[in-house]
Amino acid sequence: MKNIYLIGMPSSGKSTLGKELARSLGFSFTDMDKLIETREQKTISEIFSTYGEAHFRELERKTLHGFQPDQSMVIATGGGVPCFFDNMDYMKKNGISIFLNVELDDLAKRLYKAQGNNRPLLDKSQSEEAVIATIKKTFEERLPFYKQADIQVDGEISVNQLLWLIESYVPVQ
Interacting residues with Mg ion (CB under 5 A): 14-15
Q: What is the DSSP letter of 9?
A: S
Establish if 33 lies at the interface with ligand SKM (CB under 6 A).
yes
Site residues for ligand SKM, window 88-147 (CB under 6 A)? 119-121
Shortest Cβ 138–ligand ATP spacing (Å): 12
DSSP state of 123: -
What single letter denotes the amino acid at residue 52?
G
Question: Could you tell me which of 152, 160, 157, 164 has the C-alpha nearest to residue 106?
Answer: 157
Angle separating helix axes 128-146 and 104-113, nearest 10 degrees: 120
| Residue 15 assigned ligand-binding role | yes
What are 102-105's contacts with CB under 8 Å, separation 24+? 102/8, 102/9, 102/11, 102/12, 102/13, 102/155, 102/156, 103/155, 104/132, 104/135, 104/136, 104/139
- The residue with its CB nearest to Mg ion is 15
| Interface with ligand SKM, residue 13, by CB under 6 A | no
Positions in 62-81 near ligand SKM (CB under 6 A) = 78-80
Per 3-state DSSP, the chain is made up of helix, strand and coil in percentages (nearest 5) of 55, 15, 30
Toward ligand ATP, which CB reaches closer, 8 or 82? 8
From the list 3, 4, 7, 11, which residue makes contact with ligand ATP (rule: CB under 6 A)? 11
User: Does 119 participate in binding ligand ATP (rule CB under 6 A)?
Assistant: yes
Residues near ligand SKM (CB under 6 A):
10, 33, 44, 78-80, 119-121
Residues near ligand ATP (CB under 6 A):
8, 10-16, 33, 76, 79, 110, 113-114, 119, 156
